[in-house]
Structure 1
Amino acid sequence: MKIEAFLTLQATLDRGSFAAAAEAVNLTPSAVSLQIKQLEAYFGQSLFDRSGRTVRPTRFALLVIDTVSRTFSDLEKLRTQRDPSLSGRVRLGVTGSIQTTLLPRAVAELQKRAPGLTLQLERANTPEMLSSLKADRLDAAILVRPPGGGSARLHWKDLLCEPLVLVVPANLESLEPEQYLRRYSWLRLDRKLVVGRMAARYVDNLIPHCEALIDVPSADAIIAMVGIGLGVSVLPRLRKEHLGAYPVREVSLGPAAPTRQLSMVRRKQDSENALLRIIEQAFELACR
């Protein structure tokens, strides 16, 4: 019996349903149901009472998960322990927006956790990195997860979810987002980028047929342009590095603000790779 089946059982007990467990373990509900049936066949006993509207765990299911949870805990400690002897080269794709913000912090953490690790960085947009992952030209990538959730054939780890904001020159008067976009030039983030398309969709819904002054492929470049008064832009929330370097400020887009999900993605067969797990942990710390 594969260990993944026990992890699926754990997720089902934690989440309370096959559907919720499916989301947690990145499987379809039918695949979760199949794994549970395989476990029941393995033990020769039912793990869930299916007589009502909702499935309820049997006492035997609780006994099984109590028995294996201690093993899971011990394995997790072995898997995540800091080991300075870990070494190797990892081809990591990154988006331009994290290069001056999250990346330096993550690399500093990696120097402490795995000094023998070498990163080979490649900057690209989300579609390019996903193609490179599938073609084995990258080992992992830190990118903006597509709004549709991304390919189910890959292993996704969500790191940071943040709303988009309107970035304006610091000296402008207080206005509503629509007023800013009507009075000042719109500096549009390139729509080849996932965030660029999200921002453009928001502006087009707010002001149909709004014309952009310029399309720019870099959020950092746009922030610099806003700082000298060229216009305003819809971008991910600013880091303290941005606010300290340029005379700009954020304006909330309110409850209708689109959000971007920053994630680490790798091939499913590499989901338990120790080096990639350490990189994941380093970026999780950087996101805090």
Structure 2
Amino acid sequence: MKLQYLATLSAVVARGNLTAAAEQVNLTRSAVSLQMKQLEAWFGQPLFDRSGRNVQPTAFAHEVVRTIDRSMAELESLRRPTAGVPAGRVRLGITDSAQTTLLPLAFKDLLRRAPKVELHIQRGTTPVLLEELKAGRIDVAVLVRPPTGGSSRLLWTGLLDEEMVLVVPRGLRDAPPAQILREQPWIRFDRGLVAGRMAAQFVERQVPHCHALVEIAGVDAIVALVAAGIGVSVLPRLRREHVRAYAVREIRLGPQAPIRRMAMVRRKAESDHRLLDIVESAFLEAAETLKGAGSRLLK
């Protein structure tokens, strides 16, 4: 549990709502809401009454805030001599998919809010980055959370849930996904990737023993092949640049669609690391921006 979360709770109670508190602590409303849920999980009881139209702090929340208010001033006085402009190096591991979506937005936010925080970036797949993190060779990673939930020895922060879709040539006639997968060559997303394994498992459920024409790791290469009419593929939702540049379209897979969950993960021993908190906040902001931009309709 982070001291920052207690300060956020104090702001929520003082300001009366999540939106005003978010402005005060320089976070998004959803980031504040997530912190409150994590605090409730830590305390083991609710901090807010959500039964009415407006969320109201419970008596227990007021008791917690009174305790916070008595101690935060003393804690802040101890911290202030070394406080100042955040500075230092953060070794960040990141997957290719996050490198082209979340990283540019997060980097821009960091340059604005904490220009002296220096990112040392290492690309890798999810399994490789998890090993690097456990070994202490990187400080934090942005990756695809395994469907099993990932190691409980690490601290996970959800960033972005991405629905996987069937990518087909733009001119292909409409049909249910299973029918398309039976009739069209399947370009398989690399099973060495978490999302690739999820996609392959979905296809196997829809079309048992479906033969793959080829297996490729790069989304760009797969989209180019689909646009050329070579086949179809199950992929995470495409970036807008793909949809504009290639003659492809996306088809929803229905309620059984796999979900790729992007997350930030660090070691629990560094749960109160100030620089990592700043980097995490930047990626949470980036995820919120992408969620707002990802509302285009799918067929």
How big is the shift at 1:69?
A: 5.1
How far did residue 159 of structure 1 move?
0.5
The residue that corresponds to 1:196 in the other structure is: 196
Which position in structure 1 is the counterpart of 2:53? Answer: none
SS in 2 for 1:89: strand
Deviations 1:205-238 (A, max 9, x none): 0000001111111222212221222211111111
The 1:87/1:256 distance shift into structure 2, 3 A limit, reads: same
One-letter code of the match for 1:183? E
Cα pair distance change 1:72/1:248, threshold 3 Å:
farther
Normalising by structure 2, report the TM-score: 0.72
Aligned residue type for 1:181:
L
Q: Which runs of 5+ in 2 are unaligned?
A: 10-36, 46-57, 290-299
Counterpart contact for 1:227–1:248, Cα < 8 Å? yes
Superposed counterparts of 1:19-34, under 5 Å: 24=38
Corresponding residue number in structure 1 for 2:242 = 242
Structure 1 residues 224-233 or 259-268, which shifts more?
Answer: 224-233
1:265 and 1:72, CA in 2 relative to 1: closer, same or farther beyond 3 A?
Answer: farther
The whole-number CA distance in structure 1 between the counterparts of 2:70 and 2:173 is 60
Q: How does 1:72-91 map to 2 (within 5 A)?
A: 85-91=85-91
Would the aligned equivalents of 2:168 and 2:233 in 1 still touch at CA under 8 Å? yes
Distance 1:71 1:247 in 2: 62
Number of the residue aligned with 1:96: 96
Which residue of structure 2 aligns with residue 64 of structure 1? 63
* Corresponding residue of 1:44: none
- Report % sequence identity: 49
Residue 136 (structure 1) shift: 0.5
Query: Which residue identity lines up with residue 67 of structure 2 in the other structure?
Result: V
Task: Give the whole-Å Cα distance in 1 for the aligned partners of 2:144 and 2:196.
Answer: 11
Alpha-carbon distance in structure 1 between the residues aligned to 2:2 and 2:108: 34
Deviations 1:254-286 (A, max 9, x none): 111111111000111222222212221222222
Asked whether the equivalents of residues 26 and 152 of structure 1 are also in contact (C-alpha less than 8 Å), the reply is no
Aligned twin of 1:181 = 181
Q: 1:269 to 1:175 in 2, by over 3 A?
A: same
Aligned residues: 241
Q: Which stretch of the first structure deviates more once superposed, 126-135 or 230-239? A: 230-239
Aligned to 2:118: 118
Q: 1:71: how far off? A: 6.5
CA distance in 2, matches of 1:91, 1:232: 37
Say if 2:193 is the partner of 1:157: no
Pair member with larger Rg: 1
Alpha-carbon distance in 1 for matches of 2:266, 2:221 = 29
| Cα distance change of structure 1 residues 244 and 136 upon mapping to structure 2, 3 Å threshold | same
Q: 1 CA distance for matches of 2:261 and 2:71?
A: 29
Deviation at 1:111, TM superposition (A): 1.1
C-alpha distance in 2, partners of 1:71/1:202?
54
TM-score, normalised with respect to structure 1: 0.74
Following superposition, the deviation at residue 84 of structure 1 comes to 8.1
Aligned-partner Cα distance in 2 for 1:3–1:276: 12
Instruction: Return closer, same or farther for 1:273/1:170 CA change in 2, 3 Å cut-off.
Output: same
Q: Distance in 2 between matches of 1:274 and 1:155?
A: 15
1 CA distance for matches of 2:108 and 2:165? 28
Deviation at 1:245, TM superposition (A): 2.3
* Post-superposition offset of 1:153: 0.9
Gap change, CA 1:151 and 1:25, over 3 Å in 2: farther
RMSD value, Cα: 3.1
SS in 1 for 2:166: strand
Unaligned runs of 5+ in 1: 11-22, 37-57
Asked whether the equivalents of residues 96 and 218 of structure 1 are also in contact (C-alpha less than 8 Å), the reply is no
- Structure 2 partner of 1:42: none
Q: Tell me how far 1:126 sits from its aligned partner.
A: 0.9
What secondary structure does 2:136 align onto?
A: coil
Aligned to 2:258: 258
Q: Which residue of 2 aligns with 1:229?
A: 229
Partners of 2:90 and 2:118 within 8 A in 1: yes
Q: 1:90 to 1:169 in 2, by over 3 A?
A: same
Q: How far is the alpha carbon of 1:130 from its aligned partner?
A: 0.7
